[in-house]
Each structure stands twice: as C-alpha cells, then as structure tokens.
Amino acid sequence: MRERVTAPLAHRAALVSIALVLAFLSFWHLATRGSAPVAIDSESARPPGAPASQRKAVMPGPLDVAEKITWHLQRPFYDDGPHDRGLGTELGTSIARLGAGYLLAALVAIPIGFLIGASPLMGCALDPFIHLLKPISPLAWMPLALTSTNDSGLSSIVVIFIGALWPMLINTTLSVAGVRREWLSVARTLEVGTLRRTFTIILPAAAPAILAGMRISIGMAWIAIVAVEMLVGGTGIGTFLWNAWNELSIADVIIAILVIGIVGMVLDQILARLAQLVTFAE
C-alpha cells in the first residue's frame, strides 16, 4: 500500500460542507420553483381587509430569502411602530435581555455555588431543591414572573435568569467540592488564608468546569429567550419570528431562524474561547 498525499482533514471537511450547502440550496430552489415570490413589504402584500390567517402561506425559494436578507441588511434599525421594526433592533433587544438575565444568573450562581461546594452541610441540604428545580422548563415560571413584575420585558429577564441559573450553579458546586485535596493541602501547609485560597487555589482549579457550566447556560438562555418572546410579544427576535408567521412572511421566518442559529453559535464560541483561557493541562 502506498501512502497517499491528501489535503489536511479540515480542508477536505470544508469542501464537503460547501458541497452540502450547495446541494441543499439547489434542492430548495428546485422544490420551490414556480411558487409566487414573496412580497418585499409584507404589509402592502396583504389584500386590504383580508385577515392574515385566511391567506395561504407560500414557501419562498432561496433567491427570495436572499433578496429579503439584502433588504434587512440595508435597514437593520428602522422603526415603523410596534409590529414593524428592523431585524437589528429586535435582535439587539433580545441580546440585551439575554445579557441581563445571564449576568444576573452568573452573579448569583457562582458565589452561591462556591458556598455550597465548600460546605458539605449546605451541599447536602440544598441538593434536593436543586434537583427539583433543575428540570422545570424556564418558561413554566413565566406566569409567576408576569404576576410578580407586571412587566413583560422584566419577566423575560427573570425567565432567562432561571434558565441560566442551574447549569452554572451545579457546575460551580461540583467543581468547588471536587478541588483536589492535595492542592488544598498545599494551601494549608503554606498557611494561605480563606480569601487568598478562594481566589488563588479554588477559583483557578474550578474555573474550567465553571466556564463549561456557563457555556451550557448561555445555550439554555438563548433557547429560552426565543420562546419567551414568542409567548409575551412586544419586542425581540422571538416576537419578530412570531409576527412574521402571523403576516405569513415565511422568508422572514426563515431569516429569523437563521439569525437565531448564528447568534447562538457565536455566543457558544465566545464561551468556548473563554473556557480555553482558563483551562490547564495536568
């Protein structure tokens, strides 16, 4: 057998990926050929007086979607009233909510995780509650959030907070409780105080697992926010998607799905990079 000279795996994989995209787009194009092009302006496309639900949704082709994307890119931040805002504005609102709920969750989950992880008593005492609360879909809290805050924007932040809380809390607790005894012994023999031990031994030792929890959390939060915004309306990428559906603007629905995917991927990659920074080899 002769050794064959081949391009690096990454290059070959990229080629296959591009081929798959082209194949998918071709199939999509052929499957939707002949269907009526979707009107650029969904508002004017609606026949006067006809309710949205009575019109038939038409599956747009890739070229229609591409055209719509160009349209959005040209005016990302326009504002024509509560049901017609630029994609950028809606996305910005969603990301701001995500950031608020997520940071709040981190500020609560990481310190509390440290306390629970460092105290076997609290760890055992709180364990049943964490396991009871963890499997509850963050959306289930929506009515309670709405009742107590009376504000849809604030409620969605509360829901994001709850959705993002558990993975961070559980990972922090486990990683703090699992810091190698030897490293703690090193700190003890060097008479390192509690505060210095927390920041120079426990935090660096637990950081990779904490970041892994934060990465899961941001994915959970991003999934939750789309659903929350579809539920409560108002603003945000979820609302944009739901409005597009109500207007039977399927091209906008497809664009919203694409944008949600891209933002989710970028957020995940940011957290992955951060995790790499604190990861250490043993």
Q: How far is the CB of 185 from other proteins (least distance, A)?
A: 6
On the 0-12 / 13-18 / 19+ scale of CB atoms within 10 A, 21 is: exposed
Phi then psi dihedrals of residue 249, to 5 deg: -90, 80
> 129 or 280: whose CB is closer to other proteins?
280
| Closest distance of CB 277 from other proteins, Å | 11
CB of 201 to other proteins, least distance (A): 7
Query: Is the CB of 190 or the CB of 270 nearer to other proteins?
Result: 190
| CA atoms of 152 and 239, how far apart (whole Å) | 12
Q: Which residues lie across from 85 on neighbouring strands?
A: 79
Instruction: Select 74 or 189, whichever has its Cβ closest to other proteins.
Output: 189
Going 143 to 145 to 151 to 155, the CA torsion angle's sign is negative
Left if phi > 0, otherwise alpha if psi is -120 to 50, otherwise beta: which for 215?
A: alpha
- The residue among 28 and 183 lying less far from other proteins, judged by its C-beta, is 183
Binding residues for other proteins, per CB under 8 A? 182-183, 185-186, 188-192, 200-201, 204-205, 278, 280-282
Q: How far is the CB of 209 from other proteins (least distance, A)?
A: 13
Candidates 243, 263, 232; CA nearest to 154 is 232
Q: Which is nearer to other proteins, 124 or 190 (CB)?
A: 190
Q: In the complex, what is the shortest distance from the CB of residue 110 to other proteins, in angstroms, rounded to a whole number? A: 18
Q: Give the residue with the Cβ less far from other proteins, 29 or 188.
A: 188
Tokens of 90: 């809606």
First to last CA, the chain: 39
Nearest approach in angstroms of CB 208 to other proteins is: 9
Question: How many other CB atoms sit within 10 Å of the CB of residue 274?
Answer: 14
